[in-house]
Structure 1
């Protein structure tokens, strides 16, 4: 009869991951972390993930290291918590999906600069009608209304972008409303311009230089691209806003 000797099966040592700039660095052993703490390469305030406990918390909060199983050691930890980021992004939020962050970038950075571009191009291009044209005053009034409406929409989009970045539930609603108002206003103004053109004699239009025409074409292309992005954002927010981590 063979005697069976009792053998102690040692489980593999636990593995650790450190949060560095929002990404998991590892796996690391207990000794590697201790060496890093001694050399000041690793700080006690750095977030660490254990293959045993399966949670992120600062190294200073870990009282001891325990051995884990081989199965848990092979598991990849989840994304580090937001608190582990050294600097909060200025225009985006790491908890939002990519499309929502692009909307934040547009509303907070791109949209104000585009309004300035449109305002400068309007001043350079001037009016399409001559000063003595009967509908000259109507065109000037339409230009002023267009600039004021676009300014109001830009401010509204900026506020919505701030609230969306802050994970406020009112952010998507403000952005959606702003896009709807901007679309309706531009359609009405475009219809008014078409009426003015139809009612004006051919001799009532001013002649423009090649440089001014190139600026107008460039602004038109930019406006079409912006309009396409706004419509895409509108449909995306209407379908996905309820799934965002908003409060």
Structure 2
């Protein structure tokens, strides 16, 4: 009697087929489908065909399996709290995506060292014009303004990176404004340098050693790489900042 009642219940629930690579696979019993859903062998997005309804639908549209899908645990949980990590990173945040953490690394660690590197290389390289040219003072003033401006941008980037790491919504805004300001200032200084070089006497250009030329070449390569990353950061933050877990 018990086996006959089980067969009656199973037959009332019908038979099921699964869609695999465009082909029907089955038949399966209701119990087999329930076990597969609970163990996440199949998902709610998979299509199934019932011998009763005679149509293909994803499991999410079948009311017969609502309880199985609720208990399957297939839903991805949110990121665990920072307190669950044994050691909290110093300059990154586990809740941030990889690109955001690279921005934190750049703003909090790389950018200050690059400013020191640029400053020391500029002091080693010196001015393009020699002391005989009357425009040498203007060039020296441009170099001094450039150092101050880059220092201000570096400090601003550091503050923005610290707030981004702390999941503060003001962090990306500060970083974006810093990059825009740095771009504008450097363009103005570049035009200023072009005007100075164009107005200077060609015979008053200072001679450079091979070491100084190599340093200048290396600084140029590092600067191009940095600006490429900064512009990538600018566009990435403008597009993805609203999706970050910030408060």
Flag whether TM exceeds 0.5 (same fold). yes
Task: Trace 1:131-142 onto structure 2 (pairs within 5 A).
Answer: 131-142=131-142
Q: Structure 2: state its 5+ residue gaps.
A: 7-34, 36-67
Structure number, greater radius of gyration:
2
Q: 1:76, 1:99 → 2: CA distance?
A: 25
1:213 alignment partner, SS class: helix
2:219 is aligned to 219
Unaligned ranges ≥5, structure 1: 13-68
For 2:3 and 2:164, locate their aligned partners in 1 and report how far apart those are by CA, in whole Å. 66
Change (3 A) 1:204 1:74: same
Aligned length: 188
TM-score, scaled to structure 2: 0.70
User: CA RMSD for the aligned pairs?
Assistant: 2.4
TM-score normalised to the size of structure 1? 0.70
Q: CA deviation at 1:202?
A: 1.2
CA distance in 1 between partners of 2:4 and 2:83 (Å) = 50
CA distance, structure 2, for counterparts of residue 209 and residue 186 of structure 1: 26
* 2:170 corresponding residue in structure 1: 170
Alignment of 1:230 with 2:230, yes or no, is yes
How far apart in 2 are the matches of 1:75 and 1:196?
66
Q: Does 1:81 align with 2:81?
A: yes
Q: SS at the partner of 2:117? A: helix
Partners of 1:76 and 1:3 in 2: CA distance: 37
Q: Cα distance, 1:192 vs. partner? A: 0.5
Aligned to 2:125: 125
Tell me how far 1:84 sits from its aligned partner: 1.1
**Within the alignment, does 1:188 sit opposite 2:188 as a pair?**
yes
Give the match for residue 51 of structure 2.
none
The 2-side partners of 1:127 and 1:200 are apart by 13
